[in-house]
Amino acid sequence: MFSRLDDELLDHPKLAAAGRELGRNGRCLALGFYTYALMWCNRHLSDGLLPVEIVETFSGFVVDPLRVAEALQRAGLFDTHERGYRIHDYGEYNPSASEIKAKRKYERNKKRAQRAAMSRGNGRA
């Protein structure tokens, strides 16, 4: 699995705004946190949802993860959600969990059929 990260994010005004709010090294902190959050969402097929209890576990990455998440939310990179945050426009740039699951199922079935054909002697090694 991979995460999609637009290279225009480096110069994006929302990232700059979050960086200014966070202070010294803020832009790097905002970019790193955003990337970390994006990767977590992709790995766990959360459709961009970041529950607050998960954000709190990012404390191994930053001293005050909720402060950083709030800065990203105020800048417009995160949206608020009843359970925490959602990465803004996540679904515009990333496949949904249901799409990924469907693709994985298709690939499993395809591989299963290939193996069955090979075991019957109809396939090539």
Mind listing the pLDDT tens digit for each residue in 76-85?
Answer: 999 999 999 9
Do residues 89 and 111 both lie within one domain?
no
Do residues 41 and 101 both lie within one domain?
no
Range of the domain at 125: 95-125
Do residues 120 and 81 both lie within one domain?
no
Do residues 107 and 56 both lie within one domain?
no
Query: What pLDDT was estimated at residue 5?
Result: 86
Residue 56 Cα distances to 50, 52, 61, 74, 111, angstroms: 10, 6, 10, 18, 39
- Note whether 14 and 6 are within 8 A (CB): no
Tell whether pTM > 0.75: yes
State pLDDT tens for residues 8-24: 999 999 999 999 999 99
Do residues 21 and 70 both lie within one domain?
yes
| pLDDT at residue 125 is higher than 60 | no
Do residues 106 and 81 both lie within one domain?
no
Share above pLDDT 90 across residues of the chain, in percent, rounded to a whole number? 63
Do residues 19 and 60 both lie within one domain?
yes
Do residues 114 and 77 both lie within one domain?
no
| pLDDT at residue 65 is higher than 80 | yes
Residue 2 lies in a domain: no
Q: Quote the number of domains for the chain.
A: 2
